[in-house]
Amino acid sequence: MPALVMEGVRKTYRSGDDEVVALDRADLEVGDDEMVTLLGPSGSGKTTLLSIAGGLLSPTEGRVVVGDQEISNLQPRQLTAFRQREVGFVFQSVNLVPFLTARENLTVVGELAGRPRRDILERADRLLEELGLAGRARNLAGQLSGGERQRVAIGRALMNEPKLVLVDEPTSALDTKLGEAVMELLREEITGRGVAAVVVTHDTRITSYSDRTVEIVDGRLRA
C-alpha cells in the first residue's frame, strides 16, 4: 500500500477578486519505503503540497490518502488527531522546544498522541540510542550542536511510528558539507524503517539521496 496518494489535488486562495492557484491538479504517489524529493523554486507550491500531505492544509479539490486514511475532507479537529499519529515532520528550522531536553522533545510527541507512558519512554530511548544521542538525552535543546538538533528532530518525526515523514528544506541554511551530512542522516535513519519520506527542497545538490525526484513549477508537478 502506498504511503501517500494525491489525486488531482488543487489548492487555490482568494486575493481580492482574483484566484491564486498554489497547487494545480497534482498527482503523486509515494511508496511505503520510498524517499521522494520534491524540487522546486520559491513560490512553486512545494510547501503547499507538503502542508496538504501533512494535514496542515485542506485541498480545495482532489483526494489525499495517507496510508489507508483519506484526509481530504477531514475537519480541523480530525486533522489534529491525524497529525498526532500518521505523519512526522522535520521542520526547516528544526523547531525543537527550547526548554525541553532531547529526550523530552521526543516524549512530548508521544504524549500528544496519548500513548502509554512506558511505551513512550522506551521508544524515545531506543530512538536516541539509534541516533547516537543516548549520552545527550538529558541536555536541553540549546545545549545541543546543530547536527544533534537535526537528529533529535528526526527522532521526533519518527517517534509515533508514522507512515510518512515530511521534511521541509533540510539543507537551506547549511553549507554543502553539512547539507550532505544531514541528507545522509535522513536517508540512513528514515529509509529501512518502512517509513516513506517526502523531502521538499530547492537545492539540486541533494536529489541524489532520494529514490526519486519530482519537480514542481508554478503549482504543477513534473516527474
Partner 1 sequence: MRLALLELLRRPGRFAVAGGALTLLVVLLLLLGGLLDGLYFGSTGALRAQDGDVVVYSASSRESFLRSRIDPDLRATVDEVDGVAATGGLGLALLGAERDGEDDGDTIDVAVIGYELAPRGVPDPPPPGTGWADRRLADDGVEQGDVLLVGPADAPVEVAGFVDDTSYLLQGALWVEPGTWRAIQTSARPDAAVTEGVFQALVVQADPEADLDARALAAAIDEATDGVTKSLTKAEAVLSLPGTRQQNSVFSALIWVAVFVVALVSALFFALVTLERTTLYATLKALGAPSSRLVFGVVVQAALVALGAVVLGGLLTMALGQVIPDTIPVQFEPSRVATSTALVVLASTVGGLLSLRRIIRIDPATAIS
The residue ranges that bind partner 1 (CB under 8 A) are 47, 50-51, 54, 56-57, 77, 80-81, 83-85, 89, 91-93, 95, 97-100, 104, 108-109, 111-113, 140, 156, 168-169
Burial of 38: CB neighbours in 10 Å, binned 0-12, 13-18, 19+: buried
DSSP-based three-state secondary structure for 63: strand
Q: Minimum CB separation from partner 1 for residue 176, in Å? A: 21
Q: Which three cell numbers stand for residue 85?
A: 499519529
* Residue among 77 and 177 whose Cβ is closer to partner 1: 77
Q: Which three cell numbers stand for residue 41?
A: 523554486
* Residue among 50 and 128 whose Cβ is closer to partner 1: 50
Asked if 92 contacts 168 with a C-beta cutoff of 8 angstroms, the reply is: yes
Asked if 186 contacts 180 with a C-beta cutoff of 8 angstroms, the reply is: no
Q: Minimum CB separation from partner 1 for residue 92, in Å? A: 6
* Residue among 15 and 42 whose Cβ is closer to partner 1: 42
CA-to-CA distance for 134 and 120, rounded, in angstroms? 15
Q: Minimum CB separation from partner 1 for residue 115, in Å? A: 11
* Residue among 83 and 149 whose Cβ is closer to partner 1: 83
